[in-house]
Structure 1
Amino acid sequence: MLKRSGFKTKKLLLATSLLAVTSAANAGYTIKLDDDNKITFGGYIKADARYVDGNIAATDYWYGGGTVLPESQSNFGISVNETRFNTKYVHGDVTGFIEMDFYGDAVAGGGNEVISNSSKPRLRHAFIKYKDVLVGQTWTTFQNTSSLAEAADFGGPLVASAFIRQGQIRYTLGGLQLAIENPESYGGYRGDKTTRDDSVPDFIAKYTFKGDWGNVSISGLARQLKSVTNQSESAFGYGVAGRIKTFGKDDFRFQIHGGNVGRYVGVTASTDMVGEEAEDTTSIMVAYRHFWTEDMRSSVFYGNTQTDLTDRDRSHWGVNIFKNFTKQLSFGLEVGNFEMAESDADSDYVQLSAKYVL
């Protein structure tokens, strides 16, 4: 008889494990074929009901920018696009991982809110890992995923978080990680959002200190950017991020970034280049998570990004509560605000989320 707790035959074992919310795979059913071969299937189903009111147009989640409206509007919507699935293949020292969600553009497929609400699968991760070397697409090495806030609004204050998935070659030695990653110069003339193909890969170094107390990472970024006139500009940025355990199961999460971090931080809140100059960005994100009971918790978070050339000043704060009804099923409620101060615009939101971890 099959049970969720697992069963074992001569060459087959089925087991279930719950992983961290911010990891690439949120859950997994592992089929162990033998001592060196196993396949894990995971992901989650998430439904969001979201009400937005203000003069920044409603989106499925807040990122670093938005469309400023001539006057305040309200919007209500229900979506399931954050839903995702993944597969991990392990053969001895070799691991392959693929993950997709449903934020892909559905216009060409005919999806709309009138009839079908269709959306296309979108590739998130696809990488191969052999011992200490990783090749493929996944979270940038510059990022500390454990420091992201737990939020109903996907990712929390992305406006001030390091948050990019891209192609890379990464080497890990203990707490040290070195990587070359896909280059792209984002921005150009003041207010322009064009991108150019770059010829020199981005270089990233990160060291993570870990212990029973949590973790803190220090990262550095070096790039050779291209302007719209094809001129080169050297750019350097830094980041300090982590998750610190406090009382009981509570934790404090933070990210601080500065320098020419550009597209690596804030999800379009800042650009790499403005004219012929590299933009300087300062970002800070803080979050505190408190467990009221074993199955109920809340997070309060705040993020702000400011830039020197485009004079952007953007913030996002939120407060939420989540309750697990089983280990796999949880419901959450969140209220918050997203602001683009340089445009004198902001929107409030209320979001109810239901999440079933596979």
Structure 2
Amino acid sequence: MNKRIIVTPLCACLAFCAPFSEAMEVELGGFLKMNARHVNGDIAFQDSWTGGGSVSEPTQRTQFSAQESRLNLGVSSNDVRGFIEIDFVGSSQGNAIISNSYSPRLRHAFIEYQDVVAGQTWSTLVNTSAFAETADLGGPLVGQAMVRQALVRYTFNNWQFALENPYTYGTNPGSSLNDEPDWIDTRNDYVPDFIVRYNTKGNWGNVSASGVIRYLDPDQTQQVSTGMSVAGKLRTFGKDDLRIQLHYGNLGRYVGTDAAKDIIEGELETTLSAMAAYRHFWDHNWRTSLFIGHTATEVQRSRRTLVGVNLFTNLTPELSVGVEVGQYAINDKARLESTELVENGQSQYLQLSMQFSFQ
């Protein structure tokens, strides 16, 4: 539940910038989350499965963590809304010996005025309603579009048009698998990525279709890349739903969460990513999601797959608990120049989570 505080000119502690002609609404939200995670296999432990990682020696590891907890603040006045959100994922500051401290990490920070959004938030390519309900943060990230970045977006009826932050992720010609990769110099990222999206919805659910055009210019090679995406949430029987995503083209860093690069040895990468999740309600509280995510690349010839199933229930409207099991697999035949590296491995995981939401 959102906690709303009405701010007036009499509240001097919050009205330090200028007097308010009308009341300002402040919304506080977020959640506290505790995870217990066990990983067993020959892909190294990750706090949540991204599309990255590599095959290593067999290992087992169990970790407890509260770093996924997050806090957000929304402020509205007249036609203007501001939103900022932080969590603590991937930003270890202390260590497990003493403090287990984590630094805040900026997730969202944007301004919304009428039909325009400016700031850092979900890329226009991302349909958040197509995310599965999972204990693992983000779920099958390996098959999803899951990018937050700075952008300027205009919405007109069902259409959205956006200019988004350019960044080229990849390697130059001559990189070797046996040496440190020769990463592309991003100083030539000077043309914003352009994304167009169309949304439609009804009692049956919602679907979005997006297209992206990017101008990548490492070492002045001047390459135009394109890609397309379809995603949505479809209602099926009762309260059940099917969530799907399908992405194809030169999407690179936009999909798979590090499963694919934009350019490999100076050559544009082509990626196929897909994700599907079916959520079934056993009754008004108990529910299960069965999900799969997969990304395959043409140039680097990588194959990354995550499958999983979970069981969730709510102890109170705000407090949910869940258990999840799954497997992350790597099946790569990486190619750089004349070198080929075959990697095959998988790790199984078991995760318990408890989440108290106040939004």
TM-score above 0.5? yes
Q: Does 1:283 align with 2:273?
A: yes
Residues 247 and 217 (structure 1 numbering): CA distance in 2 closer, same or farther, change over 3 Å?
A: same
Q: Does 1:98 align with 2:84?
A: yes
SS state at 1:137 partner? strand
Q: Distance in 1 between matches of 2:235 and 2:6?
A: 34
Q: Does 1:314 align with 2:301?
A: no
Question: Of 250, 268, 273, which residue of structure 1 is paired with 2:240?
Answer: 250
Q: Distance in 1 between matches of 2:92 and 2:190?
A: 32
Tell me if the contact between 1:202 and 1:223 (Cα under 8 Å) persists in the aligned partners. yes
Report the count of equivalent residues.
327
Once the two structures are superposed, the pairs formed by residues 56-75 of structure 1 within 5 Å of their partners are 56-69=43-56, 71-75=57-61
RCO comparison, higher one (Cα < 8 Å, 6+): 2
Q: What letter corresponds to residue 130 of structure 2 in structure 1? A: S
Residue 207 of structure 1 corresponds to: 198
SS state at 1:309 partner? coil
Residues 340 and 193 (structure 1 numbering): CA distance in 2 closer, same or farther, change over 3 Å?
A: farther
What CA RMSD, in Å, does the superposition of the two structures yield over aligned residues?
1.3
Residue 3 of structure 2 corresponds to: 29
Residue 350 of structure 2 corresponds to: 350
Question: Of 322, 327, 330, which residue of structure 2 is paired with 1:332?
Answer: 322
SS state at 2:299 partner? coil
SS state at 1:263 partner? helix
Residue 143 of structure 2 corresponds to: 160
Per-residue CA deviations over 1:154-209 (Å, capped at 9, x if unaligned) read 11100010000000000011211100000001001356473513000000000011
Q: Distance in 2 between matches of 1:221 and 1:205?
A: 7
- Structure 2: segments with no counterpart, 5+ residues: 9-21, 333-342
Q: What letter corresponds to residue 222 of structure 1 in structure 2? A: I
Q: Distance in 1 between matches of 2:37 and 2:92?
A: 20
Q: Does 1:143 align with 2:123?
A: no
Q: Does 1:117 align with 2:117?
A: no
SS state at 2:68 partner? coil
Q: Distance in 1 between matches of 2:92 and 2:306?
A: 28
Residues 98 and 209 (structure 1 numbering): CA distance in 2 closer, same or farther, change over 3 Å?
A: same
Residue 21 of structure 1 corresponds to: none
Question: Of 28, 34, 42, which residue of structure 1 is paired with 2:29?
Answer: 42
SS state at 2:58 partner? strand
Per-residue deviation at 1:36? 5.0
Per-residue deviation at 1:104? 4.9
Q: What letter corresponds to residue 248 of structure 1 in structure 2? A: G
Q: Percent identity?
A: 46
Residue 273 of structure 1 corresponds to: 263
Question: Of 206, 231, 238, which residue of structure 1 is paired with 2:228?
Answer: 238
More divergent stretch after superposition (92-101 vs 34-43): 34-43
Residue 154 of structure 2 corresponds to: 171
Q: Distance in 2 between matches of 1:97 and 1:320?
A: 31
Q: Distance in 2 between matches of 1:301 and 1:226?
A: 37
Tell me if the contact between 1:223 and 1:235 (Cα under 8 Å) persists in the aligned partners. yes
Per-residue CA deviations over 1:260-283 (Å, capped at 9, x if unaligned) read 010000011000001222100001
Per-residue deviation at 1:37? 2.1
Tell me if the contact between 1:177 and 1:206 (Cα under 8 Å) persists in the aligned partners. yes
Q: What letter corresponds to residue 241 of structure 2 in structure 1? A: D
- Structure 1: segments with no counterpart, 5+ residues: 1-16, 18-27
Per-residue deviation at 1:68? 2.2
Tell me if the contact between 2:54 and 2:330 (Cα under 8 Å) persists in the aligned partners. no
Tell me if the contact between 1:139 and 1:163 (Cα under 8 Å) persists in the aligned partners. yes
